[in-house]
Amino acid sequence: MAYVINDDCVACGTCIDECPVGAISEGEKYVINPDECTECGTCADACPSGAITL
């Protein structure tokens, strides 16, 4: 199960910079590609709003 970004996201961009595999993309809402996510948790640890969960 890949991490997901919920509606608490403030679109700060921190997660994009932290993802080691580039699984996060920017758009209307930030999205984690489940096929690329390795479930390392780096993005969730870095997220200042706690918007990234499993």
pLDDT at 8: 96
In the chain, where the domains are located? 4-53
Q: CATH assignment of 4-53, given 3.40.50.2020, 3.20.20.105, 3.50.50.60, 3.30.70.20?
A: 3.30.70.20
Interval 10-33 mean pLDDT: 94
Three-state secondary structure call for residue 54:
coil
* pLDDT interval class at 38 (50, 70, 90): very high
In 3D space, the residue among 52, 30, 25, 29 whose CA is nearest the CA of residue 41 turns out to be 52
Q: Is the overall model pTM greater than 0.85, yes or no?
A: yes
Instruction: State the sign of the Cα–Cα–Cα–Cα dihedral 52, 25, 48, 17.
Output: positive
Cα of first residue to Cα of last residue in the chain, in angstroms, is 7
The residue among 43 and 29 whose pLDDT is bigger is 43
Average pLDDT, rounded, for the chain: 96
pLDDT at 11: 94
Asked if pLDDT for residue 23 goes beyond 90, the answer is yes
